[in-house]
Amino acid sequence: MLAETAPRPTVTRTAASRWGFLQGWDAAIIAAVLLSILVASVMVDGFASPRNAGFLLIDMIPILLLALPMTLIILTGEIDLSVASIAGFISCVFGALWSGGLPLETIIPLCLVLGAISGAVNGFLVSVLGLPSLAVTIGTLALYRGLAFVVLGDQAVTSFPRVITSGLQAKIGTSGIPVWIIPVLLLAVVFGVILHFTAFGRSLFAIGYSEHAARFSGITVARTKFWLFVVSGAIAALVGIWWTLRYGSARGDNATGLELSVIAAVLLGGVSIFGGKGNLPGVIAGVALLAILRNALQLASVPEDTLSMLTGGLLIAAVVAPNAVTWARSARKRPLTT
Amino acid sequence: MDDTYTHGVDLRSSPAAADDPVPILELRGIHKAFGAVKALRGANLSLLRGQVTALVGENGAGKSTLVKTLAGLHQQDQGHVLLDGEEVSFRDPLQAREAGIAVIYQEPTMFPDLTVAENIFMGRQPLGRFRRIDRKLMRRMAVELFTQLGVRIDPDRSAQGLSIADQQVVEIAKAISLDARVLIMDEPTAALSGVEVERLFAVTRTLQDRGAAVLFISHRFEEVFALADWITVMRDGAHVLTAPAAELSIDQVIRQMVGRDVASLFPKQDAKIGGVALEVRKLSRKGVFHDISFTVNAGEIVGLSGLVGAGRSEVARAVFGVDKYDAGEVLILDKPLKPLSPSAAMAAGVGLVPEDRRKQGLVMELPVSRNLTLTLRHKLSRFGLLTNRSEAATTRDWAKRLQIKAGSPNSPISTLSGGNQQKVVLGKWLATGPKILIIDEPTRGIDVGTKSEVHRLISELAGNGLAVLMISSELPEILGMSDRVLVMHEGRLTAELSRSEATEETVMTAATGVESPNKEPKA
């Protein structure tokens, strides 16, 4: 060991590491996506049609959007449970401003800024005051949902022009693919590049694994976390606007419970709830898997309660599975002891 | 001390031959491989009743793997483990513990919110009526254990804030309460100050008198020779030599460890000393350090000495901006440095190689390249993008310059030996091109060969005009390397000594507090 100072040949390793992210959990989740498409196409009537593909993809949009910042936040070891409430809050603000007669080009930026501010409140409490994000965002989950009802009460604003609401459903030619999935996928690519190919992305992994070591390496941990929550809030606002226009209705209970699906998809995508571990392609696969399962079961007339149970079950499974593998390994090594 | 060696009857240099007094524990021809890496290839060890055996070897020689095999954490691929002459195999740590083997690690893990007594008897608390824990009895048993060891620790205090030395003693007390016959101490003294080491040694001798076999692992030769009856040397995973300590010299042991002669442990070159690079003015933090003022010039190595807990690392962390300070200021090249901002310190040209490699220096879950380039994230980015390829290339470059032995840039950092890990931390900061480098314990837990390499490196860097502030608990290192020595005692600077003034006596006098040299830290 002493004499070996020359670096070893590295040919085989490079090839292995380039595809390394496709091993293990990622490979399993992608296989699960393909398998569920296959099984659903055979077993469920109407699943394999352009029309249904369109529905499926358009339903994926809000979850995919929210999953992007959520991935970064969970990677740093934090969590944002308030995203669906921010979306609902912004939906109501959007409706109120619309019925107040403001034009869309004023409303949309205002809503995005308000979403960012809502996220900044989370960020301030977590990074400046150092409070646990789990507690902070459970608090703001209730707070922003309450604000949503303060803005619109139990009313709904539905006076949106059909041109806009049906425009959101536009398809690319006859393929059934919705037009608006394209910018969302582009945004996913942007997030993927930021996470995996920038200095900022590197710092997120370091923070997630060891906040201490990250600080000692000159990474501004608090500032980084703050901005993640701001981005999360802004994207939640975007989802709030999307939700309002897609369903043509601004209501206080819009997007209720959506955070559960988002977190389930992110964890299913292989992101560790303890931080540090995960990647964006996996998360996209996780979002897809959840969307396909829900869509197929809905077509098969499975009731909504059961779907909710499925989401919850998958969330737990996603947290348990990586640990279960470890347990299984150590249990195999260790015979019964008294 | 002398008669302890001789009552082992036959002083044989081969452990295989020493079967007259049957060793409590014996390892024969242990082999262990992790994938392609052969960590152990023919390791032998025998531990005798009432004797202390020191296990020495460079980092990566296989000492830790051997200890983990003894502790039941690893299972050997080949070879035999004999307990009282009978072959056994430990499949898990519990079996090793039941066989009477206890391991004291460098930094014990304790339950911080429980009391000392509760920590000792965790999981086997004495029960009173209705299966309730008999706290009085537990307390009495803890006091009894501490009395046997001749130490004073309050069994009712919580483990939180217990010094590392005290934590080790608590672990030893726990081992005794478990009737451990074999006690393995893996670099127990690395984080201890002189007084604490003395106390640990006293405790060890008590154990020895009680008939326990002790395995002592250390990189500090003065300790090895002060404590051990036998010395076993390992190199490259194999047994090299076992002999009575009295028959060996430090030079012989080093030669056996590295398989060559180590020219000089502390090769400090003379360097031209330039202008003031770092100036610290009246820096204070309530209850931690007070009124600290000093300068470090370009090309100079300033040693910061003192006992553990004197506030040295705290000063370093405050200068770098990881910790806050209440008063005073830090100037880098005459410009004030923004407090509490490591990124500002980095931008100003300050680097900090922290005290705790595993928690502060490295992200243990990330590979070598991600660790080494963590400080270079922005520098390596092209148009804002950072690729694995550029990180790997930089890593290979620095691995070559610092002779870091790692499988590849993508190897997990945890697979590297302590010395190579330390080189990665050094590389990570040297690559930023710092003007001032603060190094906290540059060679803690590092083998001799790497140690002198690190020393040569630091000395070379100073030769090139780098200002170095070096914190070390090892006096020879401080005395050998420093152009100037600063000494801290209980949060205050008590001496500033030139190279010629600095001796073991002057430094130790200042480090223990001039007015009350006999003062001991309260347990």
A17 CB neighbours in chain B (<8 A) are 388, 410
pTM of the entire predicted model = 0.75
B370 contacts A205? CB cut-off 8 A: yes
Q: Is residue B402's pLDDT more than 70? A: yes
pLDDT at A4: 38
Residue of A nearest to B371 (CA): A206
The answer on B232 and B206 residing in a single domain is yes
Q: Confirm or reject contact between B36 and chain A (CB < 8 A).
A: no
pLDDT at A261: 93
Mean pLDDT of B289-314: 91
Q: Is residue B66's pLDDT more than 60? A: yes
Q: Is residue A177's pLDDT more than 70? A: yes
Question: How close B428 comes to chain A (CA, Å)?
Answer: 9
Question: Per mean pLDDT, which range of A97-106, A143-152, B54-63, B209-218 is the poorest?
Answer: B54-63
**Model confidence pLDDT, tens digit, residues A221-240:** 999 999 999 999 999 999 99
The answer on B101 and B18 residing in a single domain is yes
* β-strand partners of B238: B235
Structural element, H or E, at residue B302: strand B301-306
CA dist., res. A94 & res. A104, Å (int): 9
**Burial of B385: CB neighbours in 10 Å, binned 0-12, 13-18, 19+:** middle
What residues of chain B, 286 to 325, have a C-beta less than 8 Å from chain A?
Answer: 320, 322
Mean pLDDT of B430-435: 95
> Helix-strand-coil percent breakdown of chain A, rounded to 5?
75, 0, 25
pLDDT at A183: 96
Mean pLDDT of A110-138: 97
Coil, strand, or helix at residue A278? coil
pLDDT at B5: 36
Q: How many domains is chain A partitioned into structurally?
A: 1
What's CA B69's distance to the chain center, in Å? 21
B60, B320, B384 member nearest A198 (Cβ): B384
Question: How close A200 comes to chain B (CA, Å)?
Answer: 8
Mean pLDDT of A286-315: 92
The answer on B95 and B15 residing in a single domain is yes
Q: Confirm or reject contact between A329 and chain B (CB < 8 A).
A: no
Asked whether residue A88 is assigned to any structural domain, the reply reads yes
- Of B232, B258, B284, the position where a domain reaches its end is B258
Q: Is residue A2's pLDDT more than 70? A: no
CA dist., res. B431 & res. B349, Å (int): 11
Amino acid at B211: G
The answer on B211 and B321 residing in a single domain is no
> Would you say the C-alpha torsion A254, A259, A262, A264 has a positive or negative sign?
negative
A337 contacts B386? CB cut-off 8 A: no
Asked whether residue A64 is assigned to any structural domain, the reply reads no
Amino acid at B472: S
**Domain CATH code at residue B340:** 3.40.50.300
Beta strands B276-285 and B327-332 are: antiparallel
The answer on B327 and B288 residing in a single domain is yes
- Of B206, B235, B258, the position where a domain reaches its end is B258
Asked whether residue B216 is assigned to any structural domain, the reply reads yes
Q: Confirm or reject contact between B386 and chain A (CB < 8 A).
A: yes
Q: Listing from the earlier edge strand, what are the strands of the sheet with B327-332?
A: B289-297, B276-285, B327-332, B335-336
Mean pLDDT of B229-248: 90
Which residue has better confidence, B120 or B474? B120
Q: What percent of chain A has pLDDT over 90?
A: 75
Q: Confirm or reject contact between B449 and chain A (CB < 8 A).
A: yes
**Model confidence pLDDT, tens digit, residues B1-54:** 343 333 333 333 444 444 457 889 999 999 998 766 678 988 999 999 999 999
- Nearby residues of B165 by Cβ (< 8 Å), 6 or more positions away: B191, B192, B193, B196, B199, B200
The answer on B248 and B191 residing in a single domain is yes
pLDDT at B436: 97
Mean pLDDT of A167-189: 91
**Model confidence pLDDT, tens digit, residues A40-80:** 999 999 999 999 999 999 999 999 999 999 999 999 999 99
Rounded alpha-carbon distances, angstroms, from residue A12 to A8, A129, A289, B393, B522: 11, 48, 32, 16, 57
CA dist., res. A126 & res. A294, Å (int): 33
CA dist., res. B119 & res. B122, Å (int): 5
A1 CB neighbours in chain B (<8 A) are 60, 236-237, 405
Structural domain boundaries, residue B320: 271-349+436-441+482-523
Q: What percent of chain B has pLDDT over 70?
A: 91
| Averaged confidence pLDDT in chain A | 89
Mean pLDDT of A275-298: 94
Mean pLDDT of A330-337: 52
pLDDT at B20: 52
Q: Confirm or reject contact between A306 and chain B (CB < 8 A).
A: no
The answer on B234 and B330 residing in a single domain is no
Q: Confirm or reject contact between B345 and chain A (CB < 8 A).
A: yes
How many CA atoms lie less than 13 Å away from A286 in the CB half-sphere?
34
The answer on B219 and B95 residing in a single domain is yes
Q: Is residue B522's pLDDT more than 50? A: no
Q: Confirm or reject contact between B351 and chain A (CB < 8 A).
A: no
B354 contacts A219? CB cut-off 8 A: no
Asked whether residue B41 is assigned to any structural domain, the reply reads yes
Q: Is residue B514's pLDDT more than 60? A: no
**Model confidence pLDDT, tens digit, residues A179-220:** 999 999 999 999 999 999 999 999 999 999 999 999 999 999
Q: Confirm or reject contact between B60 and chain A (CB < 8 A).
A: yes
Range among B216-225, B256-265, B360-369 rated most confident:
B360-369
A202 contacts B377? CB cut-off 8 A: yes
Asked whether residue A149 is assigned to any structural domain, the reply reads yes
Question: Per mean pLDDT, which range of A127-141, B210-224, B251-265 is the poorest?
Answer: B251-265
The answer on B196 and B91 residing in a single domain is yes
Residue reference for tokens 């470090």: B296
Structural domain boundaries, residue A156: 70-167+181-319
Asked whether residue A172 is assigned to any structural domain, the reply reads no
B301 pLDDT band (50/70/90 cuts)? very high
Q: Is residue A18's pLDDT more than 50? A: no
**Among the listed residues B354, B358, B356, the one whose alpha carbon sits nearest the alpha carbon of residue B414:** B358
Phi–psi pair at B297, nearest 5 degrees: -95, 160
- Nearby residues of B186 by Cβ (< 8 Å), 6 or more positions away: B63, B64, B67, B103, B104, B105, B106, B217
Asked whether residue B448 is assigned to any structural domain, the reply reads no
Asked whether residue A124 is assigned to any structural domain, the reply reads yes
> Would you say the C-alpha torsion A209, A210, A215, A216 has a positive or negative sign?
negative
| Averaged confidence pLDDT in chain B | 86
Asked whether residue A221 is assigned to any structural domain, the reply reads yes
Asked whether residue B488 is assigned to any structural domain, the reply reads yes
Q: Confirm or reject contact between A333 and chain B (CB < 8 A).
A: yes
pLDDT at B427: 95
Q: Confirm or reject contact between A216 and chain B (CB < 8 A).
A: yes
Q: Confirm or reject contact between B390 and chain A (CB < 8 A).
A: no
The answer on B38 and B72 residing in a single domain is yes
Rounded alpha-carbon distances, angstroms, from residue B190 to B105, B161, B164: 10, 18, 10
B518 pLDDT band (50/70/90 cuts)? very low
Q: Is residue A337's pLDDT more than 80? A: no
Asked whether residue A83 is assigned to any structural domain, the reply reads yes
Question: How close B299 comes to chain A (CA, Å)?
Answer: 24
The answer on B247 and B297 residing in a single domain is no
Q: What percent of chain B has pLDDT over 90?
A: 46
pLDDT at B260: 56
Asked whether residue B123 is assigned to any structural domain, the reply reads no
The answer on B247 and B296 residing in a single domain is no
Range among A156-165, A180-189, B252-261 rated most confident:
A180-189
pLDDT at B250: 82
Q: Is residue B150's pLDDT more than 60? A: yes
B267 pLDDT band (50/70/90 cuts)? low
DSSP string, B185-238: EESTTTT--HHHHHHHHHHHHHHHHTT-EEEEE-S-HHHHHHH-SEEEEEETTE
Asked whether residue A328 is assigned to any structural domain, the reply reads no
pLDDT at A14: 39
**Model confidence pLDDT, tens digit, residues B180-226:** 899 999 888 877 777 888 888 988 898 888 889 999 998 778 888 99
- Of B231, B258, B285, the position where a domain reaches its end is B258
**Model confidence pLDDT, tens digit, residues B302-359:** 999 987 778 999 999 999 999 999 999 999 999 999 999 999 999 999 999 999 998 9
Question: Per mean pLDDT, which range of A39-48, A133-142, B366-375, B449-458 is the poorest?
Answer: B449-458
pLDDT at B13: 40
Mean pLDDT of B245-256: 85
Phi–psi pair at B126, nearest 5 degrees: -65, 135
Q: In this structure, are residues B271 and B482 in contact, taking their beta carbons and an 8 Å threshold?
A: no
Q: How many domains is chain B partitioned into structurally?
A: 2
pLDDT at A73: 98
Q: Is residue B523's pLDDT more than 50? A: no
